[in-house]
Amino acid sequence: MVDGTLGAVGAVPPAEVEDMELYHPKSWVTRYVFCQDAKVISIQYSLTALSIGLVALVLSWLMRLQLGFPSVFSFIDANAYYQFITMHGMIMVIYLLTAILLGGFGNYLIPLMVGARDMVFPYVNMLSYWVYLLAVLVLVASFFVPGGATGAGWTLYPPQAILSGTPGRDWGIILMLASLIIFIVGFTMGGLNYVVTVLQARTRGMTLMRMPLTVWGIFTASVMALLAFPALFVGAVMMLFDRVLGTSFFMPALVEMGQQLQYGGGSPILFQHLFWFFGHPEVYIVALPAFGIVSDLISTHARRNIFGYRMMVWAIVAIGALSFVVWAHHMYVSGMNPYFGFFFATTTLIIAIPTAIKVYNWVLTLWLGDIHLTVPMLFALGFIVTFISGGLTGLFLGNAVVDVPLSDTMFVVAHFHMVMGVAPILVIFGAIYHWYPKVTGRMLNEALGQLHFWITFLGAYAIFFPMHYLGLVGVPRRYHELGEAAFNTPSVGTLNAFITIVALIVGAAQLVFLFNLAWSLVRGKEAGGNPWKATTLEWQTPETPPAHGNWGKELPVVYRWAYDYSVPGAEEDFVPQNQPVVARAGAREGAPA
Amino acid sequence: MNKVQEAIVRPSGWRGIVADWSGDQRAFKNVSWGKAMMWIFLLSDTFIFGLFLLSYMTVRMSTIVPWPNPSEVFALTIGDRKMPLILIAIMTFILISSSGTMAMAVNFGYRRDRVKTAVLMLLTAALGATFVGMQAFEWTKLIVEGVRPWGNPWGAPQFGSSFFLITGFHGTHVSIGVIFLAIIARKVLRGDFDRERRGFFTSRKGNYEIVEIMGLYWHFVDLVWVFIFALFYLW
Ligand code: HEM
Ligand SMILES: [Cu+2]
């Protein structure tokens, strides 16, 4: 399809800006360490995020060991358990998922996919990574300070987050808040780059409506992050003041151990509003890039154009906008005015519409497609399935009346792990299997990939599906031990032990993946420039891996959208975006399309 | 390398905007990368200031202790007359004036008038520094009178907390602006932008446009002050 916006094929407007001036590294240090090339920055971001993600994975094992076999592991006492959940949740959501999807995939894919030589401000982009690394180091440091990491829960609700009963209230919480503030500063530097590159640095012929959905997803998520992180920033700064200076922004009058504290007059609910004004968009900051990437994986590996491209774009934008007006569905039990609950339940259910449109369009793209069950495709299909299961439970929780009894039970844990834990992680894996050949020039091992997929996918269901049941019978979340409560039936104990064993197996399966990453770097099959026969620009670079500056002397020129797969009559089953004329099977060379 | 050419004639008004957004290369035609980046940054920063102010209003309403009366707290005794808000009035006047000098600097920058641009930028920086200095004076005065982030002699402790938080955050913005004004003024004076001298870290050619980008930031910081003035001092 050559769409009409730019007129007939061949009529591409002339260049409006001069070619980008790049910083050319002069030494080893500026080439590989303090490097301004977005591709290197992307790898730095991804490796850092995966490393800290491994810490979060190990923490999840420790929590599961305690839940599955209570009191067997004496070093996991209640305090340690709280520290583990808090750090696990925060690391997974922010330092792994946000960082790898925007900093990792954004940096690699945006310039290549829109046909730019680099991000618009490579130096600021480089700073973004080093500030992110600092944030990670501050976070890790909090494990080693006196009193250990904070155990306030990843939501860090005051007043308990800074009261003396909570583990890590001495230093852990301070470092956590500091680390978040640093992360936001670093992200802003990167995020501005991603947004401006998409808006202002596309190549000739690349209209917004010809961009691959991956870019749309990452772009929208970056805009959202620039508007949502300020709320977390403000909340973190004010809580830091409350903790360090003794102000009372979030602290009401309190009696602790019979003693009246110095605090008084603040509003704990204010923090919840700030947190979730960030927190809900954050869910979509993680989800939208995943949506985009999965659309491209499905289209490429099913050799079929994406169904309803325009609808997909508008759905991404609509979800992004709506997600700023639903935040208080996390606060149904906080004692809000019930009319608020009504409003937020309505907006929440409205978001289901564009989301459902996306799911239907993925399924319709697969319909009658020539599905290649490659590893990236398996992960993409796995995503659709887990996302549907997680999304459906979201409809339950979005309704205030249904949420009240389910709130703070394992049902919620099951819901958000399916929808924003497992689903985006599956896409990240799929994306790594898909783009690794471009990054390294070698394919990841297929057999190991299949093994990794099946264990992870089935394992994720075995872990999180039973949790719905646990939640329905009343098992609360964030409990170190269940004790003799009425809901603690023998089946609960058996299920918990089962979940723990599967979680350990799934965790171990990730070692297969890490081994594959390292092994294939040296031993993998040579990939060539375009192993998946994909249409998007990153596969059309003159060199693989792409050189500094991405393209040779000339920037590519774009003539069509990103989804010309199986074009009827065409010689090959895909037409790259930068190819002006469709070669007809049997037609003479260069005939007009 | 691609030759840069004038873009094809574009329709005006709404149709122009639609045409730009459905076209290739740039969504905002004639907006450079640097300016686009500053605008988007300022949008994000607006959210930060906006949320700080909203939070201040929320705690002001949630606290049950009466709020100190700003026109008494922020009064100076000059001679033997008590002048409410006099210092803030002067500070506001100075900051708004600095927006004027900044605008003139931008104008001379586009005429490539090295000396006038640099002098006006330095004047802007000096006005900014005076503002920060007067703010330091105000902070000192209040601290001497016993205002602390966690309490004050007159009423709700949230008064001091919000005051130091919000004016401190804004003052930091002004101070950063002053530093960058000085740095860029030095580059202007040295002729970096006439000679298109390359940046040390970026190896990009210098350009007078940076004066305008600096101007966007400076006007934004002034505009934010107007809101702080209205919501904190006048309410
Ligand atoms: C192997 C995979 C994982 C396992 C076994 C796992 C397990 C757990 C467990 C046992 C809890 C604590 C439940 C409780 O006691 O309340 C938890 C909490 C949490 N997890 Fe995971 N998790 C995994 C992956 C992820 C991922 C990928 C994310 C990314 C979104 C994530 C985000 C969270 C969050 C936000 C919490 C809530 C923390 C809190 O209550 O403060 N988890 N997880
Ligand atoms: Cu939400």
Q: d(Cα A193, Cα A42) in Å, to the nearest integer?
A: 13
CB A102 within 8 Å of CB A167: no
Contacts of A24 in chain B (CB under 8 A): 203
At B69, list the tokens.
């009366």
pLDDT tens digits, A459-488: 999 999 999 999 999 999 999 988 888 888
**pLDDT of residue A8 exceeding 90:** no
Task: Tell me whether residue A567 is in a domain.
Answer: no
Interface predicted TM-score of the whole assembly (ipTM), two decimals: 0.94
- Residue B36 sits at the chain A interface (C-beta within 8 Å): yes
Q: Which two tokens stand for residue B139?
A: 């902070």
In angstroms, the Cα distances linking A42 to A52, A109, A227 are 16, 9, 23
Contact B59 A266 (CB under 8 A): yes
Looking at the domain assignment, is residue A574 inside a domain? no
Query: CA B164: distance to chain centroid?
Result: 18
Mark which residues 292-331 of A lie under 8 Å from B by CB.
none
| Band of pLDDT at residue B3, cut at 50, 70 and 90 | very low
Is it the case that residue A363 has pLDDT exceeding 60?
yes
The shortest C-alpha distance from A531 to chain B (Å) reads 28
pTM: 0.94
A96 lines ligand 1 (CB under 6 A): no
Is there a domain that residue A566 lies in? no
The predicted structure's pLDDT at residue A10: 54
Closest residue of B to A114, CA-based? Answer: B25
Beta strands B75-78 and A259-260: pairing type?
Answer: unpaired
Confidence check: pLDDT of A1 > 50: no
Domain ranges of chain B: 1-30, 32-233
What confidence score (pLDDT) does residue B8 get?
56
Token pair of A488, please? Answer: 């603690």
Model confidence band, residue A109 (pLDDT cutoffs 50, 70, 90): very high
Predicted local confidence at residue A585, as pLDDT: 65
Whether residue A545 lies inside any domain: the answer is no
From atom 42 of ligand 1, which residue's Cα is the shortest distance away?
Answer: A421
Q: Which of A86, A98, A413 to mutate to test the pocket of ligand 1 (most atoms within 8 A of CB)?
A: A413
Residues in chain B: 235
**Nearest residue in chain B measured CA to CA from A18:** B4
The Cα–Cα gap between A549 and A21 comes to 9
Instruction: Give the model's pLDDT for residue A485.
Output: 84
Summarised one tens digit per residue, pLDDT across range A196-211 is 999 999 999 999 999 9
Task: Work out the number of other CB atoms within 10 angstroms of the CB of residue B131.
Answer: 26
Which has the minimum average pLDDT: A38-52, A238-252, A495-509, A570-584?
A570-584
pLDDT at B6 over 60: no
> Residue A256 has what DSSP assignment?
E
For residue A489, the domain's CATH number is 1.20.210.10
From the CB of A358, is ligand 1 less than 6 Å away? no
Report which of A102, A108, A110 is spatially closest to residue A284, judged by C-alpha positions. Answer: A102
Residue B88 distance to chain A (closest CA, Å): 24
Structural domain span for residue A354: 35-254+261-540
Nearest residue to A266 (alpha-carbon basis) of A250, A253, A243, A247: A250
Radius of gyration over every alpha carbon of chain A, rounded to an integer in angstroms:
25
- Which residue, among A55, A56, A35, A54, has the nearest Cα to A44 in the 3D structure? A35
Distance from the alpha carbon of residue A416 to the mean position of ligand 1, in angstroms:
9
Residue A419 within a domain: yes
pLDDT at B9 over 80: no
Of the candidates B25, B58, B160, the beta carbon closest to that of A267 is on B58
CA A89 / ligand 1 centre spacing (Å): 6
Q: Do B36 and A200 touch (CB under 8 A)?
A: yes
Q: Is A371 exposed, middle or buried (0-12, 13-18, 19+ CB in 10 A)?
A: middle
What is the atom index within ligand 1 of the atom nearest the CA of A155? 41
Pocket flag, ligand 1, residue A386 (CB < 6 Å): no
In a domain, A200, yes or no: yes
Q: Which atom of ligand 1 is nearest to the CA of A410?
A: 16
Contacts of A230 (CB under 8 A, 6+ apart): A184, A278, B44, B45, B47, B48, B51
Tell me if A471 CB under 6 Å of ligand 1.
Answer: no
Mean pLDDT of chain A, nearest integer = 93
% pLDDT > 70, chain A: 97
Chain B nearest-CA distance from A583, in A, is 25
pLDDT per residue as tens digits for the range A397-449: 988 888 889 999 999 999 999 999 999 999 999 999 999 999 999 999 999 99
Q: Are A577 and A535 in contact (CB under 8 A)?
A: yes
A238 part of contact set with chain B, CB < 8 Å: yes
Per-residue H/E/C for B59-107: HHHHCCCCCCCHHHHCEEEECCEEEECHHHHHHHHHHHHHHHHHHHHHH
Six-digit token pair at A321? 């906008």
Of B33, B62, B161, the CB nearest to A241: B161
All residues of chain B having their beta carbon less than 8 Å from the beta carbon of residue A239 are none
Number of domains making up chain A: 1
Q: Which of residues 105-144 of B touch A (CB under 8 A)?
A: none
The answer to whether the beta carbons of residues A171 and A149 sit under 8 Å apart is: no
> 182-211 in A: which are within 8 Å (CB) of B?
188, 192-193, 195-196, 199-209
Cα separation, A273 vs A50, in Å, equals: 30
Contact A178, A138 (CB under 8 A): yes
User: Token digits for A73?
Assistant: 């592991």
**Interface with chain A: mutation pick from B6, B8, B15, B25, highest number of A CBs within 10 Å:** B25
Residue A587, pLDDT score: 52
Protein residue closest via CA to atom 19 of ligand 1: A89
CATH superfamily of B32-233: Cytochrome c oxidase, subunit III, four-helix bundle (1.20.120.80)
Domain membership of residue A45 (yes or no) is: yes
User: Encoding tokens for residue B1?
Assistant: 């390398």
Q: What is the 3-state secondary structure (H, E, C) of A220-236?
A: HHHHHHHHHHHHHHHHH
Q: Whose CA is closest to A574, among A539, A545, A542?
A: A539
Nearest ligand to residue A482 Cα: 1
**Chain B residues closer than 8 Å to A203 by CB:** 24-25
Name A277's Cβ contacts closer than 8 Å, sequence gap at least 6: A228, A231, A324, A327, B51
Give the model's confidence band at B38: pLDDT under 50 very low, under 70 low, under 90 confident, else very high.
very high
Give the C-alpha distances (Å, rounded to integers) separating B152 from A270, B21, B52, B133: 22, 54, 21, 23
**Contact residues on chain A for B1, CB-CB shorter than 8 A:** 18-19, 553-554
Could you give the C-alpha distances from A298 to A302, A314, A359, A453, B208, in angstroms and in order?
Answer: 6, 19, 12, 16, 47
CB A102 within 8 A of CB A218: yes
User: Which ligand approaches the C-alpha of residue A328 most closely?
Assistant: 2
pLDDT in tens, A300-326: 999 999 999 999 999 999 999 999 999
Secondary structure (3-state) at A530: coil
Contact B37 A196 (CB under 8 A): yes
Q: Does A123 touch chain B (CB under 8 A)?
A: yes
pLDDT at A153: 95
| A10-55 pLDDT tens trace | 578 888 888 888 888 888 888 888 999 999 999 999 999 999 999 9
Whether the CB of A271 is below 8 Å from some CB of chain B: the reply is no
Q: Is B220 exposed, middle or buried (0-12, 13-18, 19+ CB in 10 A)?
A: buried
pLDDT confidence band for B2 (50 / 70 / 90)? very low
The count of CB pairs under 8 A between chains A and B is 176
Tens-digit pLDDT profile for residues A43-102: 999 999 999 999 999 999 999 999 999 988 888 999 999 999 999 999 999 999 999 999
Q: What residue of B is the nearest CA neighbor of A224?
A: B44
Q: Which of B1, B23, B158 sits opposite A19 (nearest CB)?
A: B1
